[in-house]
Structures are given as C-alpha cells and as structure tokens.
Structure 1
Amino acid sequence: MSQVSLAIRGFADEQLLMRQGGLYWVAVDRTRDAEALALQGLMALPGQHRAGLLWCGFYPEQLAEALDARSGPGELRLFEVPEAVIRPALKSLPSELRRAAIAPGGLLLLMLPATAWRTFDAAQLQQWCSGLRRWLREQRCTLLVLCHGRASPLHGELIRLNEHLSGLAQLYRQDGGIRYQSHFWHNDQGVCGAREFELELQASGFGLARAEQASPVVTRTDDQRVYLAQRAVLEGAATLPEQWSVFDRRIDLLQQAALARAASVMVAIENDQQVEALARELYALRERCGTALKIVVREIEPCLRYRDERLLMACGANIVVPFGNPLSRFFSLVDSVQGQVWRRRQASGDLESLLERLRAPTVRGLLTPREFLSALEQIYDGASGEIEHQLLRLSVRSVLTVEHCLHQISLRRFGDIATVLNGEVYLFLFACRNDGLELALGNICRLPWRNLFSDCQPLAELEELPCAALRDATNLPSELRLAPERSEAARVRTEMSAYTPQRSRLAIMDYCK
C-alpha cells in the first residue's frame, strides 16, 4: 500500500512522505492555511485508504465537501472534539482513536488550535507523544497533527522531542511569502535535517515557489568587495579603503549600483517623506541586480516607523540601521551582511499591491461592530505577513462601565479602530509589533490601561472573533464615545500645567532652600 504524504508540489519524497506508525506535527499559523494543507494531503490519498479527521475550533464541512469524488480516501470519518473537554479528550486520545476504525496504513488527521496544549508542561507533552506513538505503531497508522495558531513555547518544547516525533515542521507567512521550515523528517526514504523552503498557494494547494524550483543562476560576484555609499551615511569620514566609492546624490549612487551584482550599497534616509520613493527605487534595483546585492539603509534622522522599515526591507533592503548607531557600529553592521543572499519574495509587478497592503486604511476611532469587522476583512484579505497588527479583546473592570473606559481612549492614527460587543471592547492597532503593544496601549489610554481593563487577550486571526455576532450588530449605543481629540497646543498646555509653580508656603520654603 502506498505511503501517505503531505503532497506539497515540488518536494522530494524524503521531505513529505510519512511512514506507518509515525507521529508527524506541522505547526501552521493560520487556520485557513491548515485547512488548505489538510485538503491537499487528503486528496492525495488513494481510493483504498480510509482516513479520519479529528477537529476542534472550526467547522470542516467545506474541507470534506471539497474532496472530489474521483480523488481522496475511499472513506473519511469526521470526529469533533468539543472545546469544553479538549484537555481530557487529548489525554484519552488513543482510546478515542479506536472509534475511528482506521485500517492499517490509513491516515489520522488531528486539527486542533495550539491553545489546546496550553496546560501541558514539558513532561506531560513528552508522555503524550510517547504514548500516542506506541499506539500508532501497534495499529500501523499514521497521525498528522496540524496545530493552527501561534504558540512559540509549545514549538520550543516539540523541537526537543525528536525521539518521539517522526517529523516536525512549521508553515507560516513572513515578508510577503509563505515559508515552510522542516526541523526534522523521518520516513522510509531516510532522515532529513533542518531545511527551509518558500511555498506558493494556488487553487490546487501548496507548492514549491518558482524561485525555489529554478536552477541556481550563476551570477557575477567579482564586485562583492565593492562598497558604494551615499556621503550622508558616512558622517564625514575622511579615510576610506580604495574599494569604497562615495556619491553626493542618491540618484548617482543608484545609477552606479544598477551595474553591480554583489556589491554593498549604502543609502541614507532623512525624513518620512522619502520612504515610498526610496522603496520604489530599491524595488527596481533589486529586480534588476538580483539577490546577491547587499543594500543597507541608514536612518540619518529619527523618521522611520515600524511600517516604514518593513516596507524598505520588503522592497529590497538587507538591513535598516536605526538612527543613533555610531559610525563604528554602522560599519560593523555592513560587515555583518557580507555573503548574504536576499531571501525575501519579490513578484514582478506586485509593488503596487505591496504598497497598498502596508498603507494604513483611512478609517480610525470607534466603529459599529459591522463596520469594524468589514474594515478588518479588508485589511487581512491578501495580507502576506510583511507587518504585524494587534487584534485585542479587552475586558472592562467590574467597577467600571464601558462608557468610562472609552472616554479614556483616544485613537489618533489611521488604521487604529475599536468597537464594543456584549460589554467587551475589541481593539485593532494597525502596524503594531507585539513587543511594542505595551507602549501603544500607554499612548492611546489616558489612564494606565490595567486600571481600565481586567484582561487583554490577543487574537491571532479573524476566526477568533465572534464574526456572526459582529456582523449582526449594526449599531452602537449613542452614549458610547471615545475621548475627544485634543489639539497639540491643548495637550502641551495640559502637560505644562503639571509643572506650574503653586503659590503655597511649602513651595516657597522649598525654593528658598
């Protein structure tokens, strides 16, 4: 009987086949990507196979219906694991699997959110994998776990379980592309170590990206020790090695760089009005010169936001050096990119869609639930992981009302939106890094946000929202309002008033000392 497989187009057999008795685990950030990978694997099964799908947290009817009558397993059994009993169900999984009655050689597909293992410590996770693998060997079945949702601590524990897992991989989106990172993979073809691939998703499923399939192109690298720099990045440095060429104007630098293939190109940026123009120039330069060119952008004045940095790197920069780094540190960072090959995805003619994805929508503030959901669907539709956003569910403290909390929130940036549903506040912050969330909440809340909300729960994707309820709720109570925006002058007056000397005896005595 043929082996079961992930069926990713373009992969060698040793990277995708799964053996009988094996326990394989693929962590997938997005639920929809997990569904696409599951469908692809099921459709690749021959008709004599029997398969079982155990799921929790979403409804797989569409996945089952998508299986063509001429492809896929001869029988597919669906088993739901209720969220309320997910932990005990996981502990008793071998006995639960007997109900699936999968014939030897069949495939068991377990699709659960990463949070299902939240309460498992390292020892419990190892025990669970070890016990399940023994049962799989006895039954001669293959189990593929497609764990959807981000869970870095869980993945860190799984990497250590290479003696109990037959394979471990990750599928995630980053820098405009789809990445598949295989940490280890055992099957009858042998053992594969760590590898990373770029994938593309088409109607027929995932496949190796065209850039990965292409034969290596021999590029001219005799200029790899050539350094082309805009004078502004050098802070007036007087002595430079003979391999360095310095240009006063960026246009002259880029014209020379267009003839290079592996040189280092150093460009300055001084204000945020230059970002989009520079992004277009870097995109054209990268498209012309290829991936061996090293492009370094140096921030001369503090002007770049997180979104701007990601845009420049998505368009061709190897590294963006932030403002404040001394010249010696800048030279060290230039050295650090030597030998690098730019690995980001750049599809010809896709620059405008990239700019559109990274451009904040022209909406902000408090929206009705339906408007809030519609705005998020537009933002997430086609998103390819170039930038992080923050989607939060905030629970109001019991001693406060929603009205009290909203009056302490001011959303000034385009793309920062909020709504209220069932007494909870849903907040979306456009282009906000996870490590910048604390600072962002401090900026939009007049009072410390922990004084307003008892819980702040990050939501990894839209599927974690109560979408049906949001869509049905078309209005907000008229009394709900965000804090009124203040002019810059009013803000300065308010802040300065805290430092105005008060005419009191104590103040005079302190001053006289």
Structure 2
Amino acid sequence: MKLDLDSYFIGLENQLPAIRAGELHLFVVQDHEWIERIANFFAQQTRILYLVEAIASINERIHFATSYDTRTAELKRLKKYRAGTLVSALTNVAAPHDAIIFHIRANSSESFITFLFDDDGMSLLRDWARKNEKILIVLFEADPADRHIRSRIGRQATNCQSLNTLYQGQPDWRWDIHHWFDGMKIIQKELRLRIISPILTEVVHDIDQSNDAARLLSAEAPVYYVHNALDGSEVAPIEWLALEREDDWLQALKSWSDDAIVIGFFRGQTMQTLLRTVYEIRKTTGPFVRIYVRERDQAIRHHDERLLMQAGATIVLPYGLRFSQVVSLIENSIDWRFNKRLPEHFNDLIDLLVPEQLQGYLPTSEFAESSLQLAELAEKQGIDYTLIKAEPASGHTPLSILRSFKHRREGDLSTTDGNNVYFFLFACRASDADRALTFLFGLPIQNIFKSEERIHSLYLVTTCCNRLVEAGGPDFSEDLKQSNITVERHEDAYDRYFPRPKPVKSVRLR
C-alpha cells in the first residue's frame, strides 16, 4: 500500500517518494482548510481511519467527502495517557484500514500533546506503524512559527519518515520539507504553493536568479511608499507611488527589478510582522529591490535592526531624520544590491527574535527561566546583556522600585525575591547600563539602590537565577498590572508625571 502526492500538487511530479506502509509522517499545518485538503486527498486513495479527540467540536474536525471510505474514532481525554492502552486500542480499531490520520490541534489536551511530543508517544506510534504495516499520518494543526511548537516537533524529528510544515507566506502558501527520507537519501525542499481549485494546487517555481533575468532601471526605477511611512505634514516627491497597505507590494513590485519601497515602523506594530514583510519581499522579488524601513515614532533596537538587514532590508532610516534627508538617502542608494545570504527559512530569523511576551515584571521562577533563555539567545548571536541585582535604598521597598521601572520593550525584565530587586536588560552593554537604568527609572539609580551587582556572563547568570528560584519571592503581578505600561515618545525619553510645587506667593520687601 502506498500514497502519492504527485496528482494533487502540479509541478511536483516525481520529486517525492510515495508514502508507504510502515511509515510515520508528520505535517504541522497552520490552517484548518489545508488540513482538510490534505486529509481528503489521502482519503481519495485508500481506506482511512480518522482519529480525533472526543472534545473536538464538529467545526474543529475534518469533514471528508461522503464518497470516501473513512471511519472516525474518538480519543477520550485523560489526565495521563499510557502506552499499552493506546497501542491496544489502536490495534483493535485500525485493523481494516490501510492508513490512519491522527488529527491533533494546538489546543488539544496538554496531557495528550505532552505524551506525543515530550514523552515517547511518537516513537511508540512509529514502532506500531512498522509492526502492523500501516501508514500513519499525523496532522498537527498549529502555527509552525510558534517557538514552543517548533521545539516540540524538533525533538521528534528522528521518529518521522518526513517532517513538514505548511503555513501562509506572502504571496503564496509555503510547504517546508525539513526532511523526507528516501532510502539512503534525505530530501529537503522549500516549496511555494498556489491554490488553483479545491482539488488542485500548483507548485510555484522561484524567479530566475540570474543576472540576465534582471530588469534594472537605475534612476528611473519607481519608488513606492506605504502611507504609514509618512506623516501628515510630509509631501512625497511627485514621482513616488503610494500604497494603501503594506501587502499591496504584491501587485506593485516586479520580480528581479530594482524598484524601491518605503515601509514605516510605528508603535503598536510587532517586530515579527515587520520582519516577515521584509523577508517575504526579498524572497519574492530578488536581490535588486530596495527595501527601506523608516522609524516613525520609536527607534528600532540595534539587535532588531541587524535582523531586518539579515531579512533583506536595504537600510533602516532612523527616527528623527528629516524627510528631505530620507529622500536624499533613497536617491543616493540607486544600484544597491542585497549581497548577503538570505536565510532559507523565516523561522531561522524568528529563532533570533526576542519573544514579545518577555518584557516587564515576572514572578521569580518565570524571571529566572526567561533571563536564562535571553542570555543564551544573546550568547548565540554575540550580543551583550546585563543582569542587575540591587538592594533598595532607605525609604524604598522592592514593590515601589518595581513600580518605577518602566520597561522599554522586549527583553527588559524585572522581579524581586522580597529583599532585592532584579533586572535583566537584553542587548545592553556594561558601559551602557547606567544610562539605560536612568532612562528606565527616570532618575539617577544612586537615589534608589543602596548597593548593586551587575552580571554579564552566562555562567554567573545561571548561578544567580538558580539561587533566585531556590529563594523564591512574593508575586506582585496584580499590584503591578497598571504600572507595567510605558508611553515612549522617542528613544531616550518616557512620560513621567511628578507633583509640581504650589506657586510661591510674592512678598514685597519693605
């Protein structure tokens, strides 16, 4: 028994081996409609046993065409799943079927996901498929860009005949084949997919990456700008072309041209969204298109700027730069070319990005875990960081100091063990720590710290965090909810509100 993909993906003919009995294949898919497409395609070819959790609603399940030979079996939700029980039940219900589709969702019970991806569940399923000569397809409905999802599937890669992720890219869907074992060979591909009809999908081939394919206009190349890249008082040159939304570049920019586009970065926009936009433009259009990222109402930290350059940006136009200077820089970077190696997968960039949720106050155990994660990330990239342990000065309490700490962005963390306060500053050099702390507190640190210790090595950060976990501390999450937000006007200033002295009455001297 075997299943093939050739007849569904036009342009993939004879590029992948057939899926055969005794194999386990894992597909991590971002979209439920794609889950249904893949499952129905397999159901066209053989008898399918569909396994799904009993708690899944009708809309969360896969709907097969009535003409297909399929049967549904439900998995009861348990506090703990046992290998022997699962194998016995699977053997009983799967006997008349050639292939089994395991449908798992990101919001499935944590105990079942833990059993499959953190314990021995996947290796158990692999061994069962080999012993019983069954095809086993695991469809995991989740976002492949999620750091925890990638970590979990990565640990199970060796148990799978193939590991695949399918997600929405720009402009097309992406199918990343991380590995597909074919005898003594390993197949790895990054495919772009375009949906033609409910039953047909086309593989879109990359642009011709040869100099002969380039259509360069030099000074005559059009310059596009997204409306949010300019403020209301700025008037773009008459030859510039406006785009209402960022994703309008799909229709505007030509592949293998030297067109230019200006994108704004503003408060409220996530770095991951901007990074993906830049990466997709570069990936789709080639090395000659110029991509300018303009800081609108806040500065991009140096670490994130480096990631943008790796993703394909031409230059980051600094906050505070006059618009006339912006125009001048664009006009003087004609004939620019992206000469770096673009990462093969967008996830390679995401792995280097500081998670958005890692900012502000965290209880001691979470602070320790997050600080270690950030320190390891910084070490991997050769980036500086600073961990501060400080004793409050007379008249201050740990809670009052934590309330005064106005974190700037991702990677600025704080906590307390009840006696001392701790701060982790990602991408902060030792020489910049005083300046950074002054900005974050709005006053000299000598006024609030009696004594302090600063740490800049992974070994000492690990030691400090281990001691912090052992010591524990109060949880001030509720107390700090309202003070965990900062309004940032520009790179070096924060809004501060201090009580003003009462007006002094003038007194006439006689």
Normalised by the length of structure 1, the TM-score is: 0.48
Q: Which structure has the highest helix share of the two? A: 1
